[in-house]
Amino acid sequence: VPAALDETAVSPIHPDFGAIIVGVDFSAPMTDQAITDIQRLADTYAVLVFRNAAAVGDADQLEFCRRLGPGPILGIERPPMAAGLLPGVIALRNLDDDGEIVPLDDRRNAFRKANELWHTDESFSFDRGAYSILKAVELPPDGAAPTEFTDMRSVVDDLPDSLIAQLLALTAVHSLPYSLHLSGYEALEADYERWPSSIQPLVNHNTRTGRRSLYLAKHIKKIVGLDDDESELLLADLFDRARRAKNFYRHTWSPNDIVLWDNLATMHRATSFESSTMRREMRRTTSLELAGTY
């Protein structure tokens, strides 16, 4: 039972995936106990939805992120989607710096659209993303553009033992230019140079909880050691299993929501909206993996 958070304010969405938490004040310094409680809740539920987190400023969001672990990830060098942000704050929006809607065929849009592929944040980096914290700055009307989450622990729980044994021996190449290419971005030679790939296990193991999760993302270009056809077949099978995961959550945004997820236990994706007429801006901070945790 969390000591510093009011236990009655925690409402699970599934028994072990997704929880709605009301009453956390992000504008006041949090006690160490509150941070520990939030980490424990994240270990249990993997996605935490903080409702009514009234107007959390970027500095408060960054501070919260820093308390959760090393980092934040500074963000790979991306086409600028927002000038003047604090380092570590990533803006995801269909707006330019004058607040105008970015044309659909603009390269900057391809970056945003890539979030509509199932992924986990910064798996293509040597220092992987651990916790991501996302808040809404400007939302399209009528609950458009929810964010979807899949519990990758529940996916592993449902895998046959023989497949788990196979996956435990495998690693995969994660590449940002590859997933950008899937969403229509023509990666340049220079992109491959500035965004090197990473090699990651296919199965994560959380040493605090003992639970495994499938570490899958559309950033995966190839499974190491398999030929291209075998790799494609296995990936298609794994994505299919993830699509049918027992634990799934679609978050419909309200203005003062903050959503935190464990990238090493989940996949997520943005969903499409009328981005040629509607405006949307989200801001994300992502902490780095604590060495030895997974």
Ligand X SMILES: O=C(O)CCC(=O)C(=O)O
CB of 176 to ligand X, least distance (A): 12
Give the residue with the Cβ less far from ligand X, 93 or 211: 93
200 vs 231 by CB, closer to ligand X? 200
Tokens of 260: 């935190």
Give me the 53-92 binding string for ligand X, x by CB under 6 A, dash otherwise.
---------------------------------------x
Query: Helix 58-68 to helix 32-45 angle, to the nearest 10 degrees?
Result: 80
- Rounded to a whole number of angstroms, the minimum distance from the CB of residue 122 to ligand X is 9
Q: Looking at beta carbons only, is 49 or 134 nearer to ligand X?
A: 134
Q: Which of residues 227-256 bind ligand X (CB under 6 A)?
A: none
- Work out which of 152, 284, 285, 289 binds ligand X, going by CB under 6 A: 284
**Minimum distance from CB of 82 to ligand X (Å)?**
13
Amino acid at the residue 287: S
258 versus 270: smaller Cβ distance to ligand X: 270
- Taking the C-alpha atoms of residue 219 and residue 222, their distance in angstroms, rounded to an integer, is 9
Q: Does 268 bind ligand X (CB under 6 A)?
A: yes
Q: Which residue type sits at 87? A: P
Interface residues for ligand X in 89-118 (CB under 6 A)? 92, 115
Cβ nearer to ligand X, comparing 44 with 183: 183
Task: Identify the burial level of 77 via C-beta atoms within 10 angstroms of its C-beta, where 0-12 means exposed, 13-18 middle and 19 or more buried.
Answer: exposed
4 is an interface residue for ligand X by CB under 6 A: no
Query: φ and ψ at 12, to 5 degrees?
Result: -65, 145
User: Is 118:268 a contact under the CB 8 Å cutoff?
Assistant: yes
134 binds ligand X (CB under 6 A): yes
Q: Kindly state the number of chain residues that form the binding site for ligand X, as judged by CB under 6 A.
A: 9
Whichever of 134 and 167 has its CB closer to ligand X, that residue is 134
CA–CA distances in Å: residue 57 to residues 12, 93, 97, 221, 272: 26, 17, 18, 36, 26
Binder among 37, 121, 257, 262 for ligand X (CB under 6 A):
121
Give whichever of 33 and 272 is closer to ligand X, judged by the CB atom: 272
The answer to whether 255 and 125 have CB atoms below 8 angstroms apart is no
Cα–Cα distance between 202 and 170 in angstroms, integer?
6
Of positions 282, 283, 287, 288, contacts ligand X by CB under 6 A:
282
Task: Name which of 204, 209, 184 is nearest 39 in CA terms.
Answer: 209
Which of residues 39, 109, 147, 247 is near ligand X by CB under 6 A? 147
Residue position matching structure tokens 């269909």: 94
- How far apart are CB 6 and ligand X at their closest, in Å? 28
- Site membership for ligand X, residue 123 (CB under 6 A): no
- Closest listed residue to residue 18, CA positions, set 116, 147, 130: 147
Q: Which of residues 201-230 bind ligand X (CB under 6 A)?
A: none
Min CB(105)–ligand X separation in Å? 20
Site residues, ligand X (CB under 6 A)? 92, 115, 121, 134, 147, 268, 270, 282, 284
